[in-house]
Amino acid sequence: MAAGGRPWRVIPRPVLETVLHNHALRPRVPQPLLFHGPRGVGKSTLLFHRLLPRWSDPPHATAFVDFLHPTPSSPAAAPWSLLPADPASPPSLHDLRLRLETALEGLARAAVLCGAVGSKDVLAALSRNHGLSTALSRLSGPSATPSSAASVPARRSSATSVPALWSRAVLATVRRDDTVFSIGEGEATNCSMEERAYMQEAMAALRVAKEVLGMQEGWRKDSIREMNRTGRFSRSLANSATDWPCLLLDVLSGAAEEEFFQPKLVLNNVDVLRKAICKDETMVPAAMYHDSFIWRVIALGANEQCLPVIMSTSDGYYSSQAFVDFGFPNIFISRETFGWTAQEAKLHMVSEFFSEQEWKVVDEVLGPNPRQLSEIYMLKQKANNPEVLHDRNIEEIIDTYLAHLQVSVVNPAMENALKMLQKFASDVREGKVPENRLSFGAPWRHPPRDDNPDLSYKWAKIQLMDFIQSFVNTEFGLNYLADDSLEILDDPAAVAMMEVGLLYQQREPSFMRPITCGIERCLARWLAQQRLQLNIQEMLAFFWQRLIRGRSYRHLMKEIGYK
């Protein structure tokens, strides 16, 4: 039997750790790295507990941004689906943007304190893409724009040149206190007066750059409001929202030097940024902010090389569609992980956490997903407490765990998927769905024509049951690239299931499947529950849907192109 009371531990994964560590060892790289895989395979645990300590020792410095949690938490606290942890208060773009900028500002501050960044570096990076005269004139005060300069329009006065205005603005900013860009007590104590003055000037330069970009973004607020109202797109307006973090990336990338200062940026759960809410009409939408930031990281890496940027996500969008949206099959360095194989999980679990007999049951029902194994082991350890509702029998523990997954994860996610299908029906009525997505014979071609919530809900429920039934018939796995028509990616039920995070779209091989074996069993149980709740009329409608318009994806079960 497994040793009783033994705490769960983070098990190393040497090959994957070596791959990520070797990428991060270089001061600058030409491409960002995308670290993706389904929920529960240990991505956040690997980054936070295994690699981040190594990447935080000098000369390395890492900005770790977790968009899902303000502070990094244990894997057990992370949600299984892609739904917000608190539906009442989903993450806002303003908070996530502040979190990203704060992390990069801390990294820039560390660069200044080690002498890697100076005022001239900030000015050079800022001047490459921005006009500075007007903003610097306002920051420098009225003395920076003497009337004599206006009398010579053909030749700029030396007093109003950008370097002179920059020097005045930096000098004025040095005299002001700042909570972020300042030298605190006990810092730079071993530096000379000249070195300390150099650092103070660099800190003031970063403050001036932030104020300049904030001022220029403020000038565009009315244009952004108009863009949001009309639904149009402007690259310059989108870039204005990401100017400050991208400037910091530019400055830090230029300062990166091997064995001296090697900064890195880790974005955990980057999918949360893409789906954040934004109620401020003067800010760009979250998806536009997300795309603009990643585009500029890609451009910086391709043109001048960028500090290592590692983006971790559990959203299947980043496995395939993101490469299409950003225009090139190899635009990111892709590192996809699926956790342990059954043999690896048995090697780590048996005798230390589970007995041989217990492992056979766990492996058959739940599979080798690391997070599910840790949660089952936690239930097993608590089985002797008087308040628990199960005994120490492993079958009873697994039944309790599956019931928990059903009630707290799968059922709420399916309700959200139903809402997405109802939204799809509304979009069809309003003509927002392109005709090529409503091709002849498509099971979702004829949603209710009336704006009746009850009819829309019943239609969405039948569509989702039809999809789950067809998914059961394919043994919960299909190759979405096996058919050149890519029909499965047009299916609103499949899209909704991937949006809520119960299905994962792999990159290699190109399978679409439930994120774990436990979720797979819960989906089958959800279908059985819904069929039992149907009345006669709804059952006839479901059988008619299956017989006349029903989905069939069995032709996608074949593994084309894979040995």
Residue 4 burial by Cβ neighbours in a 10 Å radius (0-12, 13-18, 19+):
exposed
Angle between helices 453-473 and 411-429 (to 10 degrees): 120
How many separate helices (H) and strands (E) can be counted in the chain?
Answer: 22, 8
**Better pLDDT: 74 or 110:** 110
Beta-carbon contacts of residue 168 (< 8 Å; ≥ 6 apart): 136, 140, 141, 143, 144
CB-side exposure of 379: number of CA atoms within 13 Å?
23
Pairwise CA distance, residues 342 & 339, whole Å: 10
Contact call for residues 500 and 416 (beta carbons, < 8 A) = yes
Residues 427-485: pLDDT tens digits?
999 999 998 888 888 899 999 988 899 999 999 999 999 999 999 999 898 888 877 66
Residue 299's nearest CA partner among 246, 252, 258 is 246
1, pLDDT greater than 50: no
Pairwise CA distance, residues 501 & 187, whole Å: 45
Residue 75: what pLDDT? Answer: 43
150, pLDDT greater than 60: no
Beta-carbon contacts of residue 468 (< 8 Å; ≥ 6 apart): 523, 524, 526, 527
CB-side exposure of 198: number of CA atoms within 13 Å?
16
Tokens, residue 511: 């399978």
Pairwise CA distance, residues 321 & 347, whole Å: 35
**Better pLDDT: 176 or 212:** 212
Residues 6-31: pLDDT tens digits?
788 889 999 999 999 999 999 999 99
CB-side exposure of 69: number of CA atoms within 13 Å?
12
H or E stretch covering 218:
helix 193-219
Residue 31: what pLDDT? Answer: 95
SS3 (DSSP) at 504: strand
SS3 (DSSP) at 373: helix
225, pLDDT greater than 70: yes
140, pLDDT greater than 90: no
What average pLDDT does the structure give for the chain?
88
Residue 385: what pLDDT? Answer: 64
Residue 387: what pLDDT? Answer: 57
CATH architecture of the domain covering 14-126+232-336:
3-Layer(aba) Sandwich (3.40)
Judged by average pLDDT, the poorest of 143-147, 200-204, 308-312 is 143-147
Residues 57-81: pLDDT tens digits?
999 999 999 998 876 554 445 677 7
103-122 burial, b if ≥16 CB within 10 A, otherwise e? bbbebbbbbbbebbbbbebb
Residue 212's nearest CA partner among 104, 132, 284, 112 is 132
SS (H, E, C) 507-549: CCCCEEEECCHHHHHHHHHHHHHHHHCCCHHHHHHHHHHHHHH
494: pLDDT confidence band, cut at 50, 70 and 90?
A: very high
pTM: 0.90
SS3 (DSSP) at 459: helix
Pairwise CA distance, residues 252 & 307, whole Å: 7
Residues 317-374: pLDDT tens digits?
999 889 989 988 889 999 999 999 999 999 999 888 999 999 999 999 999 999 999 9
Strand order in the sheet with 262-268: 60-66, 262-268, 309-313, 33-36, 333-336
